[in-house]
Amino acid sequence: MSYRNRILFLVLLDSLIVLTAIYFSFTILHPSIESFSYIHLSSSIAVLLLLHHVFASLFKLYNKAWEYASVGEILSIVNAVTLSIIGTILFQLLVGMPIYGRALFTTWTLHVILIGGSRFAWRVYRDRFMKKNAEMKRVLIIGAGQGGTLVARQLFNNPELGLKPVGFIDDDFRKFKLQILGIPVLGTSKGIVDAVEKHKIDKIVIAIPSISKKEIKRIYEECAKTNVKPQIMPNIEEVMLGNVEVSNFRDVEVEDLLGRQPVKLDIDGISEYVSKKTVLVTGAGGSIGSEICRQICKFQPKKIVLVGHGENSIYGIDMELRNLYRDAIEIVPVIGDIQDRTRIFEVMEQHRPDVVYHAAAHKHVPLMEYNPREAVKNNVFGTKNVAEACDTFGVGTFVLISSDKAVNPPNVMGSTKRIAEMVIQGLAEHSKTKFVAVRFGNVLGSRGSVIPLFKKQIQAGGPVTVTHPDMTRYFMTIPEASRLVIQAGSLGRGGEIFVLDMGEPVKIVDLAKNLITLSGYRVEDIGISFSGLRPGEKMFEELLNEKEIHPEPVFPKIFIGKALHEQDEEVRYLLEHFEEMATEDVREFVVNLANRRPSLRFLVGERLVN
Residues 313 and 241: their CA atoms lie apart, in Å, by: 31
Q: Does residue 609 sit within a domain?
A: no
Q: What is the pLDDT of residue 355?
A: 95
Euclidean distance between CA atoms 392 and 382, whole angstroms: 15
Q: Give the residue among 310, 329, 311 at the shortest CA–CA distance from 321.
A: 329
**Which residue, 112, 128, 144, sits at the end of a domain?**
128
The region of weakest confidence among 238-242, 285-289, 494-498, 547-551 is 238-242
Which pLDDT score is estimated for 134? Answer: 47
- Last residue of some domain: 75, 104, 128? 128
The pLDDT value given to residue 239: 58
Is 425 in contact with 495 (CB distance < 8 Å)? yes
User: Between 593 and 334, whose confidence is greater?
Assistant: 334
Contacts of 105 (CB under 8 A, 6+ apart): none
Give the span between the Cα atoms of 27 and 278, in whole angstroms.
82
The reply to whether 364 and 271 lie within a common domain is: yes
Q: Which residues pair with 443 in a beta bridge?
A: 476
Share of the chain above pLDDT 70, in %: 80
105 & 196 share domain: no
539 in any annotated domain: yes
Helices (H) and strands (E) in the chain, counts: 23, 21
Q: Clarify whether residues 419 and 545 are in a common domain.
A: yes
Same-domain pairing of 389 and 536? yes
Tell me, yes or no, whether 160 lies in a domain.
yes
pLDDT of residue 260: 58
Percentage of the chain exceeding pLDDT 90 = 24
What are the pLDDT digits (tens) for 120-148? 776 666 655 555 554 688 899 998 888 88
Contact 405, 417 (CB under 8 A): yes
- The secondary element (H helix, E strand) that includes residue 355 is strand 355-358
What pLDDT, on a 0 to 100 scale, did the predictor assign at position 306? 97
- Per-chain mean pLDDT for the chain: 80
Q: Could you write out the three-class secondary structure of 225-265?
A: CCCCCEEECCCHHHHHCCCCCCCCCEECCHHHHCCCCCCCC
pLDDT of 29 higher than 70: no
Distance of CA 3 to the CA centre of its chain: 40
Nearest to 464 by CA among 449, 475, 451: 451
DSSP H or E run through 181: none
Quote the pLDDT of residue 610: 37
Task: Enter the DSSP assignment of 190.
Answer: G
pLDDT in tens, 527-558: 888 887 776 666 776 655 556 556 566 776 67
Q: What pLDDT score was predicted for residue 180?
A: 86
Burial class (CB in 10 A: 0-12, 13-18, 19+), 395: buried
- pLDDT surpassing 50 at residue 606: no
Domain total in the chain: 3
Structure-model confidence comparison of residues 293 and 54, the more confident one: 293
538 sits in which H/E element: none
272 vs 344, which has greater pLDDT? 344
393 shares a domain with 480: yes
Q: Are residues 246 and 216 in the same domain?
A: yes
Q: How far apart are alpha carbons 209 and 233 in whole angstroms?
A: 8
pLDDT at 262: 61
Burial track 358-390 (b if 16+ CB lie within 10 A, e otherwise): bbbbbbebebbbebbbbbbbbbbbbbbbbbbbb
Domain boundary among 525, 543, 565: 565
Sorted by sequence, the CB contacts under 8 Å of residue 570 that are 6+ apart come out as 593, 599, 601
117: Cβ contacts below 8 Å, ≥ 6 apart:
none
Within a domain: 493: yes
Q: Name the DSSP class of 98.
A: P
Mean pLDDT of 99-109: 77
**Is residue 144 in a domain?**
yes
Q: Which pLDDT belongs to residue 609?
A: 38
326 in the same domain as 462: yes
pLDDT at 448: 58
Q: Determine the Cα–Cα distance for residues 226 and 194; give it in Å rounded to an integer.
A: 9
Average pLDDT estimate for 562-574: 69
- Decide if 538 is inside a domain: yes
Q: Which of 42-56, 157-171, 500-514 has the highest mean pLDDT?
A: 157-171
Give CA–CA dist 519/462, Å, rounded. Answer: 12
Q: How confident is the model at residue 32 (pLDDT cuts 50, 70, 90)?
A: low
Same domain (yes/no): 64, 186: no
Average pLDDT, integer, range 156-177 = 85
The whole-angstrom separation of Cα 354 and Cα 165 is: 54
Same domain for 316 and 452, yes or no, is yes
Q: Is the pLDDT of residue 334 over 90?
A: yes
Residue 33 confidence (pLDDT): 47
**Share in percent of the chain as helix, strand, coil (round to 5):** 55, 15, 35
Q: Where does the pLDDT of residue 393 fall: very low under 50, low under 70, confident under 90, or very high at 90 and above?
A: very high
Least confident of 151-160, 175-184, 333-342, 413-422: 151-160
Q: Clarify whether residues 121 and 158 are in a common domain.
A: no
**203 beta partners:** 139
pLDDT higher at 451 or 471: 471
Catalytic residues: 405
- Residue range 480-491, pLDDT digits in tens: 778 878 887 888
- CATH number, domain at 416? 3.40.50.720
pLDDT, residue 445, reads 60
pLDDT of residue 603: 45
| Range in 108-112, 222-226, 309-313 the model is least confident about | 108-112
Q: What is the pLDDT of residue 221?
A: 83
Burial class (CB in 10 A: 0-12, 13-18, 19+), 40: middle
Please count the other Cβ atoms lying within 10 Å of the Cβ belonging to residue 158. 15
Which of helix, strand or coil describes residue 527? coil
CA distances from 207 to 110, 151, 246 (A): 40, 7, 10
For residue 199, is pLDDT > 70?
Answer: yes
Can you give 568-580 as a three-state secondary structure string? HHHHHHHHHHHHH
Average pLDDT over residues 107-128: 74
Average pLDDT value for residue range 298-306: 94
Burial class (CB in 10 A: 0-12, 13-18, 19+), 552: exposed
Residues 3-27: pLDDT tens digits? 677 778 878 888 888 877 777 776 6
- Quick one: pLDDT at residue 562? 58
Strands (E), 99-249: 137-142, 163-169, 179-180, 183-187, 203-206, 230-232
| Backbone torsions φ then ψ of 212, nearest 5 degrees | -85, 165
pLDDT band for position 300 (50/70/90)? very high
Cα distance between residue 230 and residue 203, in whole Å: 7
The Cα 557–Cα 491 span in angstroms is 13
Cβ atoms < 10 Å from Cβ of 402: 28
Residues 246 and 325 in one domain: no
Q: What is the pLDDT of residue 292?
A: 92
Among 13-22, 309-318, 335-344, 395-404, the least confident range: 13-22
Rg (alpha carbons) of the chain, rounded to whole number: 35
Strands 278-282 and 397-401: unpaired
> Is 412 a domain residue?
yes
Laid out side by side, the sheet with 558-561 consists of: 330-335, 303-308, 278-282, 355-358, 397-401, 434-439, 497-500, 558-561
Worst-scoring range by mean pLDDT, 188-202, 203-217, 250-264, 421-435? 250-264
For the ranges 174-183, 256-265, 424-433, 565-574, the maximum mean pLDDT occurs at 424-433
In a domain, 603, yes or no: no
pLDDT grade, residue 390 (50/70/90)?
Answer: very high
Nearest CA to 390 among 362, 424, 429? 424
* Local confidence band at 293 (pLDDT 50, 70, 90 cut-offs): very high
Segments forming the whole domain that contains residue 158: 133-252
Estimate the crossing angle of helix 382-392 against helix 341-351, to 10 degrees. Answer: 30
Are 122 and 139 in a shared domain?
Answer: no
Q: Are strands 442-444 and 250-251 parallel, antiparallel or unpaired?
A: unpaired
Q: Measure the N-to-C terminal CA separation of the chain; round to a whole number of Å.
A: 97
Phi, psi of 356 (to 5 degrees): -125, 130
Give the number of other CB atoms < 10 A from CB of residue 596.
17
Per DSSP, 563 falls in state: P
